Structure 1
Amino acid sequence: MRLAELGFATPSTLLARYGLRLERVDLGLPIPGSFWGDEEAGIIGTTVYARDDTPVHSLLHEAGHLIVLPEERRESVHTDATDSIDEEDATCYLQIVLADELPGVGRQRLMTDMDAWGYSFRLGSTRAWFEQDAANARQWLFARGLLDEGGAAVFG
Structure 2
Amino acid sequence: MSSQTTLALDDSTPPAPGSDAAALTVLRVRELEFATLAALLARFGLVLHRVPDGVPIPGSFWGDPEAGVIAHNVYVRGDTPLHSMLHEACHLIVLTPEARALVHTDATDSDIEEDATCYLQVVLADALPGVGRARLMADMDAWGYSFRMGSTQAWMTHDADDARAWLAQRGLPH
TM-score (norm 2): 0.84
**In the alignment, does 2:80 pair up with 1:54?**
yes
* Equivalent runs, 1:10-89 vs 2, <5 Å: 10-89=36-115
SS at structure 2 position matched to 1:13: helix
Between the two proteins, the alignment pairs up a number of residues equal to 148
Instruction: Give the unaligned 5+ runs of structure 2.
Output: 1-26
Post-superposition offset of 1:82? 1.7
Alignment partners' CA distance in 1, 2:123 and 2:149: 19
Structure 1 partner of 2:127: 101
TM-score (norm 1): 0.93
Post-superposition offset of 1:7? 2.4
Post-superposition offset of 1:96? 0.2
**Moved >4 Å (runs of 4+):** none
Instruction: Give the unaligned 5+ runs of structure 1.
Output: 152-156
Post-superposition offset of 1:107? 0.5
Q: Pick the structure with greater CA Rg.
A: 2
Alpha-carbon RMSD across the aligned residues, in angstroms, is: 0.7
